[in-house]
Structure 1
Amino acid sequence: MVTAQLMVGVDATILALAIPGMTADLQLSTEAVAWVMAGYVLVAGALMIAGGRIAQAAGYARMMTLGLVTFGLASAVGGAADAGWILIGARLAQGVGAAAMTPAAMARLSAAFPGDDRAKAYGIFGMIMGSGTAIGLLFGGVLTQVSGWRACMYVNLVFVAISLVLSAFARDRVEPSPGHGRGWWGGVVLGVGVALVIQALTVVDTPGPAAALALAGIAVVGLFAATDRRAATPMIPVVLFQNATRRIAYYALFLWGIATIATFVAASGSLQREHHLAPLAVGALFLIYPAAVQIGLAIARRLCGTLSPVRSIGLGLALIGVGQAVLALSPDGVAAILAALGLMGLGTSQVMPNANSAMNQDAGPHAGVAGAVGTTLQQLGGSFGLAIPVAFAAWTTHAASVTALLLLSASLLALRQPQVTTTPIASTEPKEASA
């Protein structure tokens, strides 16, 4: 599960350091580059809940195998692409594979760790998702320096092969629930709506088409929300959002996606463009982020129990927000970029494990969906974070300032959250297998 999920996280950013060579080789426009980067996380996030529904019906091991094969084939096609549209299509197909894999992996973890170790397993799983994006920059730097941008796509074949072999020997067994496969198409509708909004952001310099796309996207998302709320077994149960702690966890994951992935891409481009650093050197500099994550985790273990999960999330959001403020003040300064990465790593160490724990706490029969919704929001945040700088290319500093304000506001909300005892959600429908 960790090997597959590391690949999913790595591919959010592995092409960031390859953008100059990739753009020159395939003659990509700014909008096309945005879709190469954002299309993957957009599709992965938008289809995640639908992937969980189908996995429940078809079987988790089978769905994970299908996702791995899809991811591998898409990576091979993307590595051999001789036109921008082929690479974009391959990245979208990678997103489909990720959407199939991740819910199945989470369910298989639940089956493999049914007791007290489950929280630890989910914590490792969440941190892999949080650190994989930074590790992707290191991989991307090494591969781009040594073999060129195409190697960043082909390397996924190694991940896929290892995951398939290990998956074949895994002993977890989860019985499928055929009835839960109904209504999976709603996730596709949600994905279409969000994609229209993202496309509107990438063409904001032409107000007419941008406004039309945005309105169409909002209408489609609204249609999904209205129909899903009336469904007998909704894909996103409204009851999940009635818990204040879970709402904060969801908001934190969404803001984490907006801040981190966009920062990694922008900072890597700045270090190459403004400071003329080689991709390998840039990738090495980004190691400060996972190092800061580990330092933050070590500090949290020493202070075990001092802060509640919600307060830890608030502290983490504040650290990431300060990192964004530092970038806003000096977006191209090497010292500022390194300081921001360190602060964001420390913040991630508090946000990711606590948010992953909080969103599943007291979810009752909706525990599987609660986790899938959080992962979806995290991925969608990343796609919005990548699209917004394209929309406001002349005001990227202000975009970082706005992100900082959002993070700091969310931090205050979390820190002021009263500590209350929550009641597990009662079952109102057939029990779900954790997905």
Structure 2
Amino acid sequence: MDITRDTTEEEKRKRVVLALVLSSYLVVGIDGSLVITAIAEIASDLHLGDMAMSWVQNAYVLAFGGFMLAGGRLGDIYGRKRLFCISIVLFCIGSLGAGLSQTAMLMIVSRFAQGVGSAAMAPAALGLIMDYFQGKERVKVVAWYGSISGLGLCVGLVLGGAITSYGSWRWGFLVNIPLTLGMFAYAAKWLHRENTVKARLDIRGTILSAVAVFTFVYAIDGAKSLWMWLIVSSICLLIFGKVEREAVFPIVPGCLFFSKNRCNGYVARLLMIGALMGYNFAISIFLQNGFGFTSLQTGCSFLPMTLTTFCGALAVPRLVGKHGNIPVLLSGLMMLVIGFVWLAQARCDGPYLFAICLPMILIGFGQGLAMSPLTNLGIEGVDSKNTGAASGFVNVTHQIGGAIGLSLMVSTSEGISDCDMRFHHCMVIAAILISLALAITIFIQSLNVTIAKEKKDRISH
């Protein structure tokens, strides 16, 4: 056996896996933000009313959030290669349908298919990182994985603005076709058929989790009967908890919550993504209404944050290796707090460089430093049979956090007509959410230190 050849083959396989993981996350990120800038053109061409227009985005968000937990567990049961390939096909079909849509119904159904594909693709991609990379390599790949989210957002906003300004919005969806077909070809060739867990999918848990997340996201995403949908979601969640405790192979194993660090990762991630998602929406509106930016200019204005997010992520592996996840996470969260407090002072007649660009740089570095440690905490110490479940739960907290943050900012600022005051209000909420994430992280780590010290004292005596 040629050991050198085997080593070279495995290294090439890792590079392909890395490219697939990053490409999948980039495509999902671009698609999610592209619709924000293209929605007006889509509504005009397809003659969409306000309700249909909102469902073009809601269908994607609800499917993405509702099927994420099931997507993570399916990877454990049937293999991440199989699930990743199926998710690519679903996303490709959804993109084709959206790009060719002539009616509101076809567009909404296509967006739903894209959401289901994304719900399977995101946890499968994170699971592939856990399968193929260990130690310092995993820290580095997770850092890149986290930075791609911000890059996808910026590229999507710029691409959406450029397409709506100079071409047809349809190309924003159709460009996914060659990308996803190429991803499918490489995935089919290079991914291992890994060992799967011999178990049945928890059907009751899957249905209950999908309904609970679906109704919760719908409730806070503009449902008229807010409290009715929240009550339905709460009831489903309570029943889901009971079902999962009795299930032989639950889609959310209770062991995920035995670790304080993992719980820290889930809660802090939810709060941070809530702040960032609401911020992305609020600042896009502020720049267009207050500064008079076009869609393309608004997309380009995110470049300072995108570049610094990427730079921060590149520095994470070295910093985590030297200082550990928690100090890096705390530094990132503190930068985010300062950035949002700074942005809260912005005014429509202020200079873009000082009022928007400089705090954006801080927010970019903060996001780049914090995202990877949060992901590392969320999957820390998980055994191989629960890899998909942990990956799915990390992505669910990401999705739900974004929905909560966006809804909170939109609903509480609805009655504020002044552009400056509305933006100030949203940035204060973002700063509060990040401050809560910072406080929870400090509290849990202080608790860990106290417990470790008590254990050490007991052993010494």
Count of residue correspondences? 419
| Per-residue deviation, 1:351 | 1.2
Q: Which amino acid aligns with 1:294?
A: F
CA deviations over 1:239-293 (Å, ceiling 9, x no partner)? 3223222222112221232122332233223333443333322222211122111
| Residue 13 of structure 2: aligned partner | none
Moved more, 70-79 or 252-261: 252-261
Give how far 1:81 is off: 2.6
Question: What is the one-letter code of the residue matched to 1:407?
Answer: I
Partner Cα separation in structure 2 for residue 317 and residue 35 of structure 1:
33
Mapped contact 1:42–1:383 kept (Cα < 8 A)? no
Task: Indicate the residue corresponding to 2:372 in structure 1.
Answer: 353
Question: Pairwise mapping of residues 403-422 of structure 1 onto structure 2 (< 5 A)?
Answer: 403-416=430-443, 417-418=445-446, 420=449
Corresponding position of 2:14? none
Greater helix share, 1 or 2?
A: 2
Which of 293, 298, 303 is the equivalent residue of 1:287?
A: 303
- From 141, 151, 154, the equivalent of 1:121 is 141
Between 1:11-20 and 1:22-31, the stretch displaced more is 22-31
Q: Distance in 2 between matches of 1:421 and 1:107?
A: 33
1:85 to partner: Cα distance:
4.2
Q: For the Cα contact (< 8 Å) 1:41–1:382, is it kept in 2?
A: no
1:292-340 CA-partner distances (Å, limit 9, x unpaired): 1133245556756564312322232232233333444437564534344
State whether residues 138 and 287 of structure 1, in contact with CA within 8 Å, keep that contact through their aligned partners in structure 2: no
Structure 1 counterpart of 2:196, one-letter code: P
TM-superposed deviation, 1:96: 0.4
How far the C-alpha of 1:160 sits from its partner, in A, is 0.7
Amino acid at match of 2:327: R
TM-score, normalised relative to structure 2: 0.81
Matched, 1:251 2:271: no
Q: Which residue of 2 aligns with 1:394?
A: 415
Q: 1:46 to 1:422 in 2, by over 3 A?
A: farther
For 1:159 and 1:342, the matched residues in 2 are separated by: 30
Residue 74 of structure 1: how far off its partner (Å)? 0.8
Corresponding residue to 1:268 among 270, 277, 284: 284
Question: Partner letter of residue 124 of structure 1?
Answer: W
Mapped contact 1:359–1:370 kept (Cα < 8 A): yes
Q: Following the alignment from structure 1 to structure 2, what is the Cα–Cα distance between the partners of residues 307 and 116? A: 13
Higher mean displacement: 313-322 or 68-77: 313-322
Q: 1:45 aligns with which of 65, 89, 93?
A: 65
Contact 2:72–2:390 (8 Å) recurs in 1: no
Residues 319 and 346 in structure 1, CA contact (< 8 A), matched pair in contact too: yes
Contact 2:73 2:388 in 1 (8 A): no
1:284–1:325: structure 2 CA closer, same or farther, 3 Å change rule? same
Q: 1:109 to 1:144 in 2, by over 3 A?
A: same
Q: Which amino acid aligns with 1:65?
A: C
Letter in 2 for 1:268: S
- Taking the aligned partners of 1:300 and 1:119, their CA distance within structure 2 comes to 8
8 Å contact from structure 2 (residues 34, 157) kept in 1: yes
RMSD of equivalent CA atoms = 2.9
Higher Cα Rg, which structure: 2
Amino acid at match of 2:267: Y
Q: Distance in 2 between matches of 1:37 and 1:185?
A: 27
What letter matches 1:197 in structure 2?
Answer: F
CA distance in 1, matches of 2:237, 2:397: 14
Residue pair 1:202, 1:390 contacting (<8 A) in 2 also = no
CA contact (8 A) 1:16 1:269 kept: no
Name the CA shift for 1:295/1:117 in 2 (closer, same or farther; >3 Å): closer
- What is the alpha-carbon distance in structure 1 between the residues aligned to residue 204 and residue 177 of structure 2? 29
Distance 1:385 1:273 in 2: 21
Aligned counterparts of 2:373 and 2:57: Cα–Cα separation in 1: 27
> Is contact 2:98–2:106 with CA below 8 Å preserved after alignment?
yes
Q: What's 1:429 paired with?
A: none
Under a length normalisation based on structure 1, what TM-score does the superposition of the two structures give? 0.85
Q: Percent identity?
A: 27
Q: Given the alignment, which residue of 326, 339, 342 partners 2:361?
A: 342
Q: For each residue in 1:330-382, what CA deviation from the matched residue of structure 2 results, as whole angstroms up to 9, or x when unmatched?
A: 37564534344322211111111111112222233544422321111112222
With 31-40 and 187-196 compared, the bigger mean Cα shift is at 31-40
Could you list the structure 1 runs, at least 4 aligned residues long, displaced by more than 6 angstroms after superposition. none
- Bigger mean CA offset, 243-252 vs 303-312: 303-312
Aligned match of 1:168: 188
Q: Deviations over 1:14-63 (max 9, x none)?
A: 22222332333345455554443354244223312211222333332222
Distance 1:327 1:223, change over 3 A: farther
Q: Which residue of structure 2 aligns with residue 427 of structure 1?
A: none
Q: 1:88 Cα shift? A: 2.9
Q: Does 1:187 align with 2:214?
A: no
Q: 1:130 to 1:221 in 2, by over 3 A?
A: farther
Q: Which runs of 5+ in 1 are unaligned?
A: 424-435
